[in-house]
Amino acid sequence: MSTNQPYIAPLDPSRVAIIEKFGGKIIPLDPIGAEVHGIDLSSADTPPPDVVEALEHEMANRGFLVFKNEKQLEADDFLRASCWWGGKQLHSTHGIHPATPDRNRHIFRLSNDRRHGIPGVGPQWHNDGSFNTDTFSHSGYHIIRPAEKGGGTYFAHQGAAHDALPEERQEFWGRLSSVNSASGAVHPVVHVHPISGRKSIWLHLGMTGAVIEKLPDDDGFRLLDAEEMKQLCHEYNDILNAGLENGYAIAYEYQENDCVFIDNLAVAHRAAPEAHLPPEEQGLRIMHRSTVRGVQDLAPDFDLPVYINLNGPSPFGKGVWQAGGVGFRWDDGIPMQN
């Protein structure tokens, strides 16, 4: 039983007015996200601070914004607009595909055809940059070529997903911290979103090497064992998937020239399964991703450090403690790739 109805904030009329005064239009998508029309991302000028703030707040509340562009943007326009948000500079840690325009190191080029971009990325729910202590504040997804037969991105609102959890799970998850398998960065499984103030769940389903539980009745910690990790990851997967039925997640299909910016602390995402089907079947898909520096550490509670060495012995006793690769495999039958 859920304790609360999952809540998605409607657009705030005063912010809508600020955006409209600047010549833009923001329209809610159902059930999460919003479309933005009339703001030219190819302009060299950043909109005034009140407009950027209004857009950034709505992105935090609704999860993501889709900028509808009349014409295809240049890579530089996309990257410049990425820096309107969060830490206001790019933080790029990925590989560079040879087909990337000018081999620009800030563009992560994805495709269902390996000649055009890196295939198979992000099939399970995750947030970008979880190997950093501050993660990425925002990510951009610029569709270069949508596949004819579709294959977009799923987004799920992590504040509403927390609402939807049973009270006893909220309490338990509130005592958990995840350890990133690639870096040892530690993040809370429940955090308070810095802009919306909403309690939000946060876990990477393809790069988690350990989960630490703060014991309820004393100052100690323990590790989840393999069975508990499986259960946690399945529950996390299920509660985000349930948003597709219960009004807090969306299967977003890109239209020509779309440029999506997400608040990476507010929504989890994963590639739609169709996004990874071969081009002969689905049509060719090419997308550019940008990633924006975090504003502050997504730091764990309970005085846990922001990094733990997963290659050393566990200070928390027995349990799953797995460095490297995709971390703990919580389901043998699913693709996992970062």
* Distance of alpha carbon 174 from the chain centroid: 20
Termini Cα distance of the chain: 33
At closest approach, how far in Å is the CB of 270 from Fe ion?
8
At closest approach, how far in Å is the CB of 108 from Fe ion?
9
Strand duo 259-263 + 136-145: pairing: antiparallel
Nearer to Fe ion, 58 or 128 (CB): 128
At closest approach, how far in Å is the CB of 125 from Fe ion?
10
DSSP states along 276-289 = GS-HHHH---EEEE
Q: How many CB atoms lie within 10 A of CB 278?
A: 11
Q: Which residue is nearest to Fe ion (CB)?
A: 122
At closest approach, how far in Å is the CB of 40 from Fe ion?
27
Nearer to Fe ion, 18 or 336 (CB): 336
Coil/strand/helix, residue 156: strand
Nearer to Fe ion, 31 or 122 (CB): 122
Strand duo 286-293 + 108-111: pairing: antiparallel
Site for Fe ion in 105-144 (CB under 5 A): 122, 128
Count of residues engaged in binding Fe ion, rule: CB under 5 A = 2
**Type of residue numbered 135:** T
At closest approach, how far in Å is the CB of 290 from Fe ion?
11
Nearer to Fe ion, 264 or 322 (CB): 264
Listed in sequence order, the DSSP H helices in 37-87 are 49-62, 75-82
Nearer to Fe ion, 128 or 213 (CB): 128
Nearer to Fe ion, 130 or 177 (CB): 130
At closest approach, how far in Å is the CB of 205 from Fe ion?
11
Q: With contact defined as beta carbons under 8 Å apart, do 89 and 292 qualify?
A: yes
Query: What are the C-alpha distances in Å from 214 to residues 97, 211, 219, 220, 222?
Result: 42, 10, 7, 6, 7
- The residues of the shown chain that bind Fe ion, judged by CB under 5 A, are 122, 128
